[in-house]
Structure 1
């Protein structure tokens, strides 16, 4: 049976989705776009572009494809900077296409990729534009086995109170294992035990100012 969800408009004019099952919003109600821009683009992608400036391409792994907003913003930046990005995302519970087509991200951001991202076949690599290819995997993070190492991880699971199994030391060890040396993980959650679990598997944890109404967010770096 399909889980009950509803579209919501956040404070910056961008959409989010509310899940009745998890009692969680997919993005901050204070602004979906500005949250993703701060947490994943500014602290993640822009840092990866700088840190790995000599590399011909950047490989990104996203935990939780969700609304596709993080992928959309990344595709836009890849085109702007003309940097090749290979983007892999895993999602256990995909947003139905009829709901995805109601999201207003393309109109708000002046992009035209959102439908392509959601309509891309699962478990296949799809070229969205010359600088961005997408591989969406339908499944659980715990079952994911990487065949390559990534430069950057967007860790965008639901909050720990909804999905505690995804914020454990074991999961962060799995994330560290799929990152190459010097790689980055960014997340909106800065709870103390999340920081401790990241440090326990060897990450260097940096605390940064967050988006609206969020004091701190995390960038974790795997030592080179």
Structure 2
């Protein structure tokens, strides 16, 4: 499956993609790079790791591989912290090589230059099978939808689907329930989405829902924790 996308530049200088058919972008106009670090690294991975210092490997499930930015930043974190990560992600519309090779994330921080080659390795990894991408980062990419994919137990959920107004089928209580069911005790779900209905559904599904400051340009984001 293919989807028409156009490369854009967001306010922090990092690229994102615009999808004409959905009139939607993959990231915030206010900064793709900053958004991923704020929502998924700071309030997701780093928070969970601070609460579970001795639990390894860390199991992460991502809804929406997209540009690969979240996966690449997680790989860097895993290598820098020498902490093994098992990363499972889905993407029914993989990017063509001509697109992801133009994305400029590897140029955002010159101190990360030795991690540059891993960005292409993430995209080039085979679909629907496990891949050892680096010493501390194993990944399985499924070219599949959330409705159809088989899920595994997870410590952290990166819920990075398009907005509920654009892809409502991914934000139904039924779909959220499928993800919540595989969350381990104490697991964390993070999303840029601040929609009240999504928060109510997560609460109804038994999670402790927290409201946190959003990334630049967004007032709030959501973190939800499964009781231990």
Contact 2:30/2:217 (8 A) holds in 1:
yes
Residue equivalent to 1:119: 124
Q: How far is 1:30 from its partner?
A: 0.5
Q: How far is 1:16 from its partner?
A: 0.2
Distance 1:205 1:153 in 2: 14
Q: Cα RMSD over matched residues?
A: 1.1
Contact 1:15/1:105 (8 A) holds in 2:
yes
Structure 1's unaligned 5+ residue stretches are none
Cα–Cα, structure 1 residues 179 and 14, in superposed 2: closer, same or farther, change >3 Å?
A: same
Structure 2's unaligned 5+ residue stretches are none
**Paired residue for 1:175, among 179, 186, 199?**
179
Cα–Cα, structure 1 residues 141 and 2, in superposed 2: closer, same or farther, change >3 Å?
A: closer
| Residues 1:139 and 2:176 aligned together | no
Q: Which runs of 4+ in 1 moved over 3 A?
A: none
Residue equivalent to 2:164: 160
Residue equivalent to 1:218: 222
Distance 2:149 2:70 in 1: 20
Contact 1:3/1:20 (8 A) holds in 2:
no
Contact 2:3/2:93 (8 A) holds in 1:
no
Cα–Cα, structure 1 residues 18 and 32, in superposed 2: closer, same or farther, change >3 Å?
A: same
Q: How far is 1:3 from its partner?
A: 2.8
Which has the larger displacement, 69-78 or 47-56?
Answer: 47-56
TM-score norm. by structure 1 comes to: 0.97
Residue equivalent to 1:66: 66
TM-score norm. by structure 2 comes to: 0.95
Contact 2:62/2:158 (8 A) holds in 1:
yes
Contact 1:57/1:84 (8 A) holds in 2:
yes
Residue equivalent to 1:91: 91
